[in-house]
Structures are given as structure tokens and as C-alpha cells.
Structure 1
Amino acid sequence: MKSYLFYDLETSGLNKSFDQILQFAAIRTDMHLKELERYNIVVSLRPDVVPSPMATITHRIGIEKCMEGICEYEAVRHIHALMNREGTISLGYNTLGFDDEFLRFAFHRNLLPPYTHQWANGCSRMDLLPITVLYHLYKPEGLTWPRLEDGRSTLKLEKLSQANALAEGQAHDALVDVEATLALARRFMAEGKMWEYVAGSFNKKEDALRLAKLPVRHESSAGQHAWGIMTGSRFGAEAAYQAPVLAIGESLPYKNQTLWLRLDDEALINGEGAVEERVWVIRKRMGEPNVILPPLDRFVSRLTPERLAQVEENLAWLKAHPDEFARIIRHHREFRYPEIPNLDADTCLYQNGFLSKAEEALCAKFHRAGPDAMAEAMQAMAPGHVRELATRILFRNYPEFSDEEVFEAFETFMARVHPQGEEPPMVDFRGDARLTPAAAMEEIARVRAEVSLDEEQGQLLDELEGYLSSNF
């Protein structure tokens, strides 16, 4: 049976590889958005995680509250089962922009299949933020749309919830945010045809069919190039959350990515540096944001005369400079993300690729073993990142079952978490540094100096500072 699983995460920070879930909340509904079940899981802080001070004062989950939760391994296994239940459509507010990838790394770190919730057993994903963008632009009468003090519109869930009384309770509590997201979806579903159209944007086949119908606007040595109006929050209120784009082909190393050149970008003609590096090219996967609409008058007319003029100027430039356009296409079609040497096991999901069948079987045996027999199951694994992750599951979640190898691995890893002297911090697959205890202490001081804190937030920072001092 098909069902929606509306969910939200509160996390120790924003790094998808190194931070962890602190709270997972979800409401499962039928296809008419009638509630069936709800879940609220608090996750215990791992001994190696350094919580972000800004995240702490935002979601207000302190150290003491964290320690009341269940261990990460058991929580993530439960979440994985919920999202992989047959026919589940998982969605939330900006989940494809943040939460889904965060979960993917949590699944990877705990030796669970990281992608099955996207396609297996009739499962799929949606995201209410890009849907909200479309309703804001083309069906605004169903909601009160909040604005910031400077007059700009905002699509933040917290502001939408306040303006429309979507949910009661503290924003950035995962369950409150899920309730607000579900209430928002019910408002949208009341507009039947519109909901059916936007939901179709998250179906790979439907999305591909729609894009195949876009009209050709330019021709080059690479072929014919269709165009459309891409919508998405990334373009910002100043651009009315949309931009005209030109198809320039598909990525060669990443077969699931199509490439779109932003047509109203002044940098194409007037920017500095190599043309292939200064242009704004957007990568889009089928069935995922951003949504691209056909260039019909009712959509194109939302662009200002100045932006439309820039489109025409850029198209004329592409026609007059075919060699430069060919360079743009070739550069972006051939682009590969740089490989990072000595990438840590927690963050090697994309670089190492899929597990072998033999590795999957060993992981399944590890999961069946239970805490008291996990060390023995870990010993059956060959040296490598899978065995390393199994070792970390033990010292992060079940130190009482750890053997000598696990204890030594814990000591070695914690030395990397808390580097001394000139030793650099670990970096993730994007090259971003793992938050160290020393950096967190510096951030606490900066937050206290620059942010207006209420009493509870001040106490949370005191608690965090004491935790870091005594545990690292």
C-alpha cells in the first residue's frame, strides 16, 4: 500500500558526513494525507561527535537531553526500516536539499543500504520546498505568504507556519516541523490538479517526458538545445525563485545528471576568467529539484524586461561565439568531482561506490549478530572501510562489547577527532573540515559575543562548553 512518510531531522551540525541525527520525527499518512502513525526518536550523542554551537542554540537539544536517547545504530536501523517500508514516499521540507543526503551518510556509516529508499519496494521521494515555490509563484491564493523586514518574501517553514497557523510549538523541534509540513501539504493537495502536476515532477519518467517536450531555442555543433524556466529556492526572492535555462547535454561521468546553462547570467559575457568556469551551470537529476517549466507566456512573463533582454543578449553571444560555447559544453559534460586522498571511512560513500555482494552479505550477518556477537562478525570482514565502519559501530554504540581491536581503533580515531598542534582536522568528500573541539570552543565564544541569546540558549552553551572540556 502506498503511503507518505513526512519527516524531519534535527542534527548536531550541518556536516552530512561527520555530524549525526539528534532527533528524527515522522508522520505516516495514506495517499489522502490522513494520519496513520507517528514517530519521535531522540538519538544519543556519539562519543566522537562535537556538536555545533549554532545548531545547539537553534534546535535547543542540549547534552543532557541527548543522553536520554537511544544509540545511533539502533535509531538509524529503525529509520531505515521506516523509509524502506513497501510503497513509502518519503518527503519533508527541503529534505532533498539536506535531510535525505544526511540520512544517506547515516545509513552508509551504519552499514545499511544508502539508496534503497529511493527506488526499491515501490519507494520514492518528494520534497515540499520546491512544491511551495511553485504554489507561491502560480497558486498563491491558498496561503498567507510572509515577508521579511526588508520586504522580501521568505519561504522558511518557520515563517510560513507562523503566518498560517500550521502547527503549534517550538520551531526546529522535528515533530513540530513535521506537523507544519503535513498541514502545508494538505493546503496544497486541496488544489487537486496543481498537486498532481507538481507531484509528477518527482517521477523520473514523467519528469523526463516533460523535459523532452521543451522547445529548441538554440543550435550548436553539439546539437539542439531546449530551454525552459527553472524554479527553485536557490535563485532567491530577488529573482522570484526562477531562472531561464538552456539544456547543454548530460554529464559523461555521472549518467544521472543533466546540465542547464542559466541564460540571464551577466557573467557569460561580462565576467572575468575562463568562460567555461564563470558561467552558472546547474546539474539536475530526473525526478529531483529543480522543477523546469515550459517557456509558456504565463511563465516567461514573470521574468523582468531586464532579465529577458539579458537572455536575448546571451543567446546572441552564444551564436556569435560557437567555439566558446563548445568549450562550456565540453568542460561541464566532462567535469569530475576531484578525488580526495585518504578519505575517512565515514565520508567515502561516493568515492568508494557500491558494496560488493560479498560485503553486503557480511554486513547483513553483522546486523543479525546483535551487540554481543558483533565483534565476532566484524572479525570475519577483510581489512578495509567496511570493517573500519563495523569497528566504529561497536565503539560508538556498544563500548561494553568492544574487544582489544575495537578499543585501539577508538583511541586512534579520537586522536584524529581532537587533533593536537599543527595536525589538520579530517575533511569530508567536499574538502570541508570536521568540527574539532578547539574550533567548537572558539565558536562558542564568537556566538556569545555576536548573537543575542535568551537564558535557555546561554545555559545550553554553558552545558556544551562543560561537555567539551571534560570529554576531549
Structure 2
Amino acid sequence: MKSYLFYDIETSGLNKSFDQILQFAAIRTDMQLNELERYNITVSLRPDVVPSPMATITHRIGIETCMEGVCEYEAVRHIHALMNREGTISLGYNTLGFDDEFLRFAFHRNLLSPYTHQWANGCSRMDLLPMAVLYHLYMPGTLTWPRLENGKTTLKLEKLSEANSLAEGQAHDAMVDVEATLALARNFAAEGKMWEYVTGYFNKKEDGLRMAKLPPRHVSSAGQHTWGIMTGSKFGPDAFYQAPVLYLGESIPYKNQTLWLRLDDEDLITGEGEIEGRVWVLRKRLGEPNVILPPLERFVGRLSAERLARVEENLAWLSENPDAFARIVRHHREFRYPDIPNLDVDTSLYQNGFLSKAEEAFCAKFHRAGPEAMAEAMQAMAPGNVRELAARVLFRNYPEFSDEEVFEAFEAYMAKVHPQEDEPPMQDFRGDIRLTPAAAMEEIARVRNEVPLDDAQAHLLDELEGYIASNF
């Protein structure tokens, strides 16, 4: 049976490789958006995680609350099962921009399949934020659209909830945000034809068919290049959340990634640097944001005369400079993210690729073993990434069942978590730095000086400071 799983997560920080989920909330509904079940999971803080002070004062989940939760491994296995239930369409607000990838790394870290919730057993994903962009632009009467003090529209969920009374309670509580997202979906679904149209963009087959119908706009040695109007929150209110784009082709190393050149980009002609590096090229997978609309007058008409003139100027320049256009196409189609040497196993999901059948079998045996027998199941694994992750599952969640190998792995990893002054901090697959205890202490001091805090937030920072001082 098909069902929607509306969900939200609150996390210890923004780093998808090194931070962790602290709260997972979800409401399962039928396809008519009638509630069937709800879940609210508090997750215990792992011993190696240093919570971000800014995240802490935002979601207001303190150390004491964290310690009352279930361990990460058990929580993530529960979440994985919920999202992989047959026919589940998992969705939330900006979930494909943040939450889904965060969960993907949590699944990877806990030896669970990171991708099956996207396609297996009739499962799929959607996202309400790209839908909100389309409703705001083309069916604005659906909601009251909040504005900031500068007069610009904001699509932040908490502001939408306030303006439309979508949910009661503290924003950034995961369950409150899920309730707001579900209420938002009910408003959108009330516009039946519009709902059917926008949800179609999250179906790979339908998205592909729509993309195939886009008209040609430029011809090069590579063939015809179609164009359309890409919509997305990343373009911002000044650009009315949309931009004209030209199809460059598919990525060669990355399956199902299509490439789109932004046509109203001022830097295309006059920017500094080599042409292939200064242009704005966006990557899109079928069934995922951003949405690409056909260049019909009702969509193109949203672009200002100045932006349309720039489109024509850029297209003319590309026609007059075919070698430069060929360089753009070749560079971005062939582009491959560089391998990072000595990448930590927690953040190696994309670099190391899929598990072998043998490794999948070892993981299944590990999950069946239960805490008391996990160390024995780990010993049967060949040395490598999977065995290292298994050791981390044990020392992060069940230190009482750890053996000598696990204890040594814990000591070695904690030395990287809390590096000495002359040692560099850990980095993830994007080169972003893992928050160290020393950096967190510095951030606490900065937040106290620069951010207006209420009494509860001040207490949370005191609690966090004491935790870091005692445990690192």
C-alpha cells in the first residue's frame, strides 16, 4: 500500500558526515493525507560528537535531553525500516536539500543501505520546498506568503507556519515542523490539478518525459540544446526563484546527472577566468530538484526585460564562439570530483562506492547478531572499511560489549576528534572541517557575545560547555 512519510530531523550540527541526528519525527499518512501513525525518536548523543553551539540554541535540545534517548544505531535502524517500508514516499520541507543526505550518511555509518529508500519496494521521495516555489509563483492564493523586514518573500517553514497557522509549538522541534509540513501539503493538495502536476516532477519517468519535450534553443557541434525555466529556492526572491537554463548534456562519470547552463548569468561573457570555470552550471537528476518548466510565455514572462536581453546576448555570444561553448560542454560533462587521500571511513560513502555482495552479507549477519555477539560478527569481516565501521558502531553504541580491537579503534578515533594543536582537524568529502572541542568552546564564547540569548538558551550553552570540558 502506498503511503506518505512526512519527516524532519534535528541534528547536532550541519556536517552530514560527522554530526548526528538528535531527533527524528514523522507522520505516516495515506495518499489522501489522512494520518495513520506518528513517530518521535530522541537519539542519544554519541561519545565522539561535539554538538554545534548554534545548532543547540536553535533546536534547544540539550545534553540532558540527549542522554535520555536511544543509541544512534538502534534509532537509525528504526528510521531505515520506516523509510524502506513497501510503497513509502518519504518527504518533508527541504528534505532533498539537507535531511535525505544526512540520513544517507547515517545509514552508511551504521552499515545499512544508503539508497534503497529512494527506489526499492516501490519507495520514492518528494520535497515540499520546490513545490512551495511553484505555488508561490503560479498559484499564490493557496497561502499567505510571509515577507521579511526588507519586503522580500521568505519561504522558510517557520515563517510559512506562522503566517498560515500551520502548526502550534516551538519551531525547530522536529514534530512541530512535521505537523507544519503536513498541513502545508494539505493546502497544496486541495488544488488537485496543481498538486498532480507538481508531484509529477518527483517521478523520474514523468520528469524525463517533460524534459524531453523542451524545445531546442541552441545548436552546436554536440547537437541541439534545449532550454527551459529552472525554478528553485537557491535562485532567491530577487530572481523570482527561477532562471533560464540551457541543456548541456549528461554527466559522463555520474549516472543520471543532467547539466544546465544558466543563460542570464552576467559572468558568461564578461567574467574573469577561463570560460569553463566562470559560467554557472547546475546539476540535476531526474525526479529531483530543481524543477524545469517549459519556456512558455506564462513562465518566461516572469523574467524581466533586462534578464531576457541578457539571455539573447549570451546565446548570441555562444553562437559566435563555438569553441568556447564546446569547452564549457566538455569540461562539465567530463568533470569528476577528485579523490581525497586518507578520507575517513565515516565520510567515504561516495568515494568508496557500493558494497560488494560479500560485504552486504557480513553487514546482514552483523545486524542479526545483536549487541552481545556483534564483536564476534565483526571478527569474521575482512580488514577494511566495513570492519572499521562495525568497530565504530560498537564503541559508539555498546562500549560494554567492546573487545580489545574496538577499544583501540575508539582510542585512535578520539585522538582524531580532539587533535593536538599541531595536528589538523578531520575533513569530510567536501573539505569541510569537523568541529573540534576547542573550536566549539571558541564558538560558545562568540555566541554569548554576539547572539541575543534567552535564559533557556544561555542554560543550554552552559550545559554544553560543561559537557565538552568533562568529556574531551
Query: Which residue of 1 is the match for residue 88 of structure 2?
Result: 88
Aligned to 2:336: 336
The answer for the alignment partner of 1:266 in structure 2 is 266
What residue number does 1:452 align with?
A: 452
Provide the aligned length of Structure 1 versus Structure 2.
Answer: 472
Confirm or deny that 1:375 pairs with 2:375.
yes
Q: How far apart, CA to CA, are the structure 2 residues paired with 1:299 and 1:14?
A: 35
CA distance in 1, matches of 2:366, 2:343: 24
Q: In structure 2, what residue type is equivalent to 1:277?
A: G
Whether 2:164 is the aligned partner of 1:164: answer yes
Q: Deviations over 1:219-270 (max 9, x none)?
A: 0011100000000000001100000000011101002100000000000011
How do residues 295-444 of structure 1 correspond to structure 2 at under 5 angstroms?
A: 295-444=295-444
CA deviations 1:193-223 (Å, max 9, x no partner) are 0000110100001000000000000000111
Could you list the per-position Cα deviations for residues 337-364 of structure 1 after superposition, in whole angstroms to 9, with x for gaps in the alignment?
1110011010000000000000000000
Separation in 1 of the partners of 2:446 and 2:307? 40
Is 1:30 aligned to residue 30 of structure 2? yes
**Over residues 74-121 of structure 1, what are the superposed CA-to-partner deviations in whole Å (9 max), with x where a residue is unaligned?**
000000000000000000000000000000000000000000000000
Instruction: After superposition, give the CA deviation of every residue in 1:422-441 in whole Å (9 maximum; x if it has no partner).
Output: 10011101111110000101
Secondary structure at 1:333's aligned position in 2?
A: helix
SS of the aligned residue for 2:162 comes to: helix
Aligned equivalent of 2:120: 120
Per the alignment, residue 207 of structure 2 pairs with: 207
> Would you say 1:251 and 2:251 are equivalent positions?
yes
Deviation digits for residues 403-427 of structure 1 (CA, Å, limit 9, x no counterpart) = 1111111111101100002100111
User: What secondary structure does 2:287 align onto?
Assistant: coil
**3-state SS of 1:259 partner:** strand
| Structure 2 residue matching 1:253: 3-state secondary structure | coil
1:148-182 per-position Cα deviation (integer Å, ceiling 9, x unaligned): 00000000000000000000000000000000000
Task: Find the counterpart in structure 2 of residue 147 from structure 1.
Answer: 147
Cα shift at 1:139: 0.4
Which AA in structure 2 matches 1:215?
Answer: P
| CA–CA distance in structure 1, aligned partners of residues 84 and 129 of structure 2 | 22
Counterparts of 2:99 and 2:45 in 1: how far apart (Å)? 18
SS in 2 for 1:76: helix
Counterpart of 1:286? 286
Report how far residue 389 of structure 1 moved.
Answer: 0.3
Match of residue 236 from structure 1 = 236
1:63 is matched with: 63
TM normalised by structure 1 equals 1.00
Task: Report the Cα distance in structure 2 between the residues aligned to 1:54 and 1:190, rounded to whole angstroms.
Answer: 37
Runs of 4+ in 1 over 4 A off after TM superposition: none
Distance 2:326 2:450 in 1: 48
- Name the SS for the 1:129 alignment partner: helix
| Alpha-carbon distance in structure 2 between the residues aligned to 1:334 and 1:403 | 46
Match of 1:9 in 2: 9
Name the CA distance, whole Å, in 1 between partners of 2:5 and 2:219. 43
Q: Give the TM-score of the pair, scaled to structure 2.
A: 1.00
Partners of 2:25 and 2:411 lie apart in 1 by 33
What is the match of residue 463 of structure 2?
Answer: 463
Q: Which consecutive residues of structure 1, in runs of 5 or more, have no partner in the other structure?
A: none
Q: Name the CA distance, whole Å, in 2 between partners of 1:149 and 1:435.
A: 33
Q: Alignment partner of 2:247: what SS?
A: strand
**Percent identity between the two aligned chains:** 84
Residue number in structure 1 paired with 2:176: 176
SS of the equivalent of 1:219 reads strand
Aligned partners of 1:412 and 1:181: how far apart in 2?
42
Distance 2:340 2:138 in 1: 43
Within 1, Cα distance between the matches of 2:411 and 2:349?
24
Q: AA paired with 1:245?
A: V
Partners of 2:421 and 2:150 in 1: CA distance: 45
Distance 1:256 1:210 in 2: 15
Structure-2 separation of matches of 1:369 and 1:251: 41
| CA distance in structure 2 between the partners assigned to 1:8 and 1:428 by the alignment | 23
Deviations 1:117-154 (A, max 9, x none): 00000000000000000000000101100000000000
Unaligned ranges ≥5, structure 2: none
Q: Pairwise CA RMSD of aligned residues? A: 0.4
Shift of 1:449: 1.1
Structure 2 CA distance, aligned partners of 1:52 and 1:223? 49
The secondary structure found in structure 2 opposite 1:245 is strand
Matched, 1:50 2:50: yes
Amino acid aligned to 2:449: A
Which amino acid in 2 is paired with 1:90? S
